[in-house]
Amino acid sequence: MAVAAPHPAAIEAASEAIAAGGNAIDAALAAAAMLTVVYPHQCAIGGDLVALVRRPGLGVTAVVSVGASPADVDVDALAREDRMPKQGAQTVTVPGVVAGWRALDGLGSRLGLGAPLRGAARRAADGFAVSAGLARAIAIRTDELLADEGMRGVFGMGDGGLAVEGDRIVQPALAATLEQLAVDPDAMYSGSIGASIAARLRALGGAHAEADFAAHDAELLDPVEASTGGVRWWVAPPPTQGVVLLGILPEALGDDVAELVAAVHDAALVRQSQLGDPRGGPIDIDAMLAPRSREQQGSLPRAGRALGDTVAVTAADSDGTVVTLIQSVYQLFGSGILDPATGVVLHNRGSAFSTDPAHPGRIGPGLRPPHTLLPVIAETDELVLGLGCQGGSAQPWILAQVVAELLDSSADPTTTLGRSRFVIGARDLGYEVMTLVAEPGLPAAEAAARGRDLPVVTTEGLIDDAGHVQAVRLHADGRLDAASDPRADGRALVFDTL
């Protein structure tokens, strides 16, 4: 078994699941549950989940558990605003993580949900040391954390300050919630947990009702499939942005950096104008699959930065099972709201809606926002690759820069993930105009951007904006390997299950 995740505690949880007889799905679920405790700036049971699962003889299944806006959302009031709020109750859509776990469990786990949830509950009750990544996030979001009663209760240190690296965080309310979910996962949507969260959001100005939570369920869908460069690819369908990656694969698999930069720039503009929820009307998937054939100057519905929005967990077994699971709170600490009664950090996925009623990504009752989560499975004659990353709207560009090398069975995946990368974005990266942000040593990318009149920012070292990639590979000879991005706090291990 091979597993990669962005925190050592997640790998420990996966190891315990494997030792108990669990398979790749169990390992991924155990890691994912643990991450909601130890990585609350990037994921929580108050966020969303998208995953791909490849099962021997059964193909690839997409699990899409993306929550919708409340039925009573005041669309007219929001339409008078230039953009959605960055944080707060209006940005919270119904959380999908728990329903996503339940759907993954139904795809063939051996241990069930009880064991991983109880393990995560013990860690929440016993506490954990703040990692470097969490400490960075706390420092960035200090004002927002101090402004919320629930956040202060968890991350405050009693002297008016907040936790720093090495401090111990204990979450008794979250521990109790996880214990309750271990017995009854439905409590998130039709029980006391969902009711508490809905009441907290209403008290803070939201339109959420218990009925909105009860209406949510995860979807098991056929993924979008493509064959490019002699490789078979699978991504989740809209409202997630997987098709955006498919649209730039020809350039990603080539060796012309200028062409890749051009394709990324075009794809970013097309995505902004076309990505939305198919529930609200037709989505122009063809435009996103062929971004270089369109001239789009899409609106910019996102507000603020998408730094640190996500965790990816990847797992593979020699029997052919491959799981890539991504869950998130969107921006760091999501909405900035932690429900004190349940200990749940709530995401701000709704901030990605457009307030323009004509936009495909518009906000509306029961609609889901344009979504960044992008798990990928790729297959050649030599290997199967499971891939995912943190990185917000930049996830397609991040993955595009690593896939070609990772598909080379002789390449060392750890070395690949440690190479410098660039990203292109606007408000999602903290800029008002499209900008290329490059880690050191990428002169060709910087020159290509300047040739398209794109501003360029060069960093001093590796940065979180360039993504936290997690990868597993199952080789044709049965060998497994894995890698965890050095930008995160994680690890990748291959377990001997014989």
CB atoms near residue 495 (< 10 Å): 18
The pLDDT value given to residue 310: 83
Report the SS3 class of residue 485. coil
CB atoms near residue 305 (< 10 Å): 20
- Helix (H) or strand (E) holding 491, with range, is strand 491-494
Rounded CA separation 17/34 (Å): 12
360's tokens: 């495909």
The distance in angstroms from the start CA to the end CA of the chain is 10
Closest CA to 116 of 182, 212, 201: 182
Q: For 459-478, how does the pLDDT look when each residue is reduced to its tens digit (9 = 90+)?
A: 999 998 899 999 999 999 99
The pLDDT value given to residue 272: 87
Backbone angles phi, psi at 95, to 5 degrees: -70, 135
The pLDDT value given to residue 294: 59
The pLDDT value given to residue 293: 75
CB atoms near residue 318 (< 10 Å): 16
Q: How far lies 342's CA from each of 31, 34, 150, 179, 410, in Å?
A: 21, 16, 10, 11, 47
Rounded CA separation 167/174 (Å): 18
Query: What are the structural domains of the chain?
Result: 2-220+332-352 (no CATH), 226-305+374-494 (3.60.20)
Q: For 119-142, how does the pLDDT look when each residue is reduced to its tens digit (9 = 90+)?
A: 999 999 999 999 998 999 999 999
The pLDDT value given to residue 496: 75
The pLDDT value given to residue 296: 52
Rounded CA separation 376/373 (Å): 10
CB 172 within 8 A of CB 122: no
Successive 10-residue mean pLDDT values, the chain, 498 residues: 95 97 98 97 96 97 98 95 93 98 98 97 97 93 96 92 96 98 97 97 98 98 96 97 96 95 93 92 92 61 48 96 96 96 97 93 96 96 96 92 97 97 86 92 97 95 93 96 93 81
Rounded CA separation 25/61 (Å): 13
The pLDDT value given to residue 92: 98
CB 108 within 8 A of CB 23: yes
Closest CA to 484 of 497, 472, 466: 472
The pLDDT value given to residue 159: 83
The pLDDT value given to residue 308: 47
Whole-structure pTM value = 0.94
The pLDDT value given to residue 429: 81
The pLDDT value given to residue 131: 93
100-106-111 Cα angle (round to 5): 100
Phi-psi region of 157 (alpha: psi -120 to 50; beta: other; left: phi over 0): alpha
Closest CA to 66 of 356, 345, 367: 367
CB 388 within 8 A of CB 313: yes
422's tokens: 């660039």
In 20-164, where does DSSP find H-type helix? 24-38, 75-79, 97-105, 114-126, 132-140, 142-147, 149-155
